[in-house]
Amino acid sequence: MNIEAIDKEYVLHTYARNYVNFTHGHNTTLYDDTGQDYIDLTSGIGVVSVGHANPRLSQAICDQAKKIIHISNLFAIEPQALLAKRLVELSGYDMRIFFANSGAEANEGAIKIARKYGEVDGQIKRYKIVTLKHSFHGRTITALKATGQEAMHTYFGPFPDGFVYAEDIEQVPQLLDDHTVAVMIELIQGEGGVEPQDKEAVQRLAKILKERDILLIVDEVQTGIYRTGEPLASNLYEIEPDIITLAKGLGGGVPIGAVMTRLKDIFAPGDHGSTFGGNYLSTRAALEVLDILEEEKESGALDHRMIYFEERLKAIAAKFSNLFEKEVGLGLMRGLRAKEADIQNEIIKKAFEERVLVLKAGRNTVRFLPPLTITKEEIDEGLGRFERALETL
């Protein structure tokens, strides 16, 4: 059976696909159909947070699938309620949660909350949302318009009104006016280049927004769920957002998104909803993911591997200073900034030949999003292969 031929014939060509055929995995290692091993420093773009084929997650999913996978949101769903409680407690924020199925959908929920917040006497009076130029917020029409990379808006219009793009965090205050209802940011732009925002600049912005009653939405689809070492990157930045969105790492690979807000009563029944969102399978999976990651954090193992990974990357940036300008990122969301734009594609290709998977970000960054359960041996093996790839350049 030729998967490549079938895929090309029947699946829409939205991805520049690599036709390796992975059949199974174990934590950070993937195996293809010829038995070759690969070290996965991408975790499926920040999704497989507890590794491939994590035995505890597999067991939890199997157990749940044998009981109930799905009913509708017209009935109480025990793991959904427990997951909401757990996320609120872990975050330390006094919030309520709505569950969706993806990052874009979580952001749609955030935008709907903001727009409803802008309503006075049945009319939307404040509707503008300021986002950043190099942001990424998803692929639905509205999330795409919220995404500040205008090259992505070439087709698909007309778009919803009301999105304004700031060059950077510092420029945001200049763009606020009487119609602004919210500002949406990533604390580390994942697709934009893995550059963490300056903590004090973010805190200053948060303060200005609070004074002007403008909502702060933090898109933590990529940075959330221990990716930076804390339950949320917002914890690390010591800010109190009004709305936070989550998705990628939360379900360990089972699709789930979430929007959490301190505006606990913003929605009434009928204002928002989802057929699949928060079902038994995805919320049971997410509860197990949180159990595993909380233990990793409590034991100190997560912090140790984050420090080790950073040290190794810094050493690589120094050793290959012909290629790289610096190492960037936080926790296990890391990047190597290349001196030359677009050389990242060559690096990713060479890395693949050495059987190590890495990602790109922006125009000149090689991005690393390994499973949060990566072992020291896997870090050594993966980055060892990566160095061998660099040596061929």
Ligand X SMILES: *Cc1c(COP(=O)(O)O)cnc(C)c1O
Binding site for ligand X (CB under 6 A): 102-104, 107, 136-138, 186, 190, 219, 221-222, 247-248
- 221 with 322: CB under 8 angstroms? no
Residue nearest to ligand X (CB): 103
- 99 with 80: CB under 8 angstroms? yes
| Smaller CB separation from ligand X, 103 or 148 | 103
Least distance (Å) between residue 215 CB and ligand X: 17
Least distance (Å) between residue 248 CB and ligand X: 6
Residue written as tokens 């499973």? 371
**How far apart, in Å, are the Cα atoms of 386 and each of 41, 97, 368?**
10, 40, 11
Residues forming a β-bridge with 98: 259
Least distance (Å) between residue 346 CB and ligand X: 24
SS3 labels along 121-165: CCEECCCEEEEECCCCCCCCHHHHHHCCCHHHHCCCCCCCCCEEE
Least distance (Å) between residue 213 CB and ligand X: 25
- 46 with 333: CB under 8 angstroms? yes
| Smaller CB separation from ligand X, 152 or 301 | 152
| Smaller CB separation from ligand X, 27 or 101 | 101
| Smaller CB separation from ligand X, 202 or 383 | 202
Residue 279, token pair as written in the block? 């079902």
| Smaller CB separation from ligand X, 102 or 180 | 102
Least distance (Å) between residue 109 CB and ligand X: 12
| Smaller CB separation from ligand X, 20 or 45 | 45
Least distance (Å) between residue 101 CB and ligand X: 8
Residue 334, token pair as written in the block? 């890391």
Burial 276-307 (b: 16+ CB within 10 A, else e): bbbbbbbbbbbbbbbebbeebbeeeebeebbe
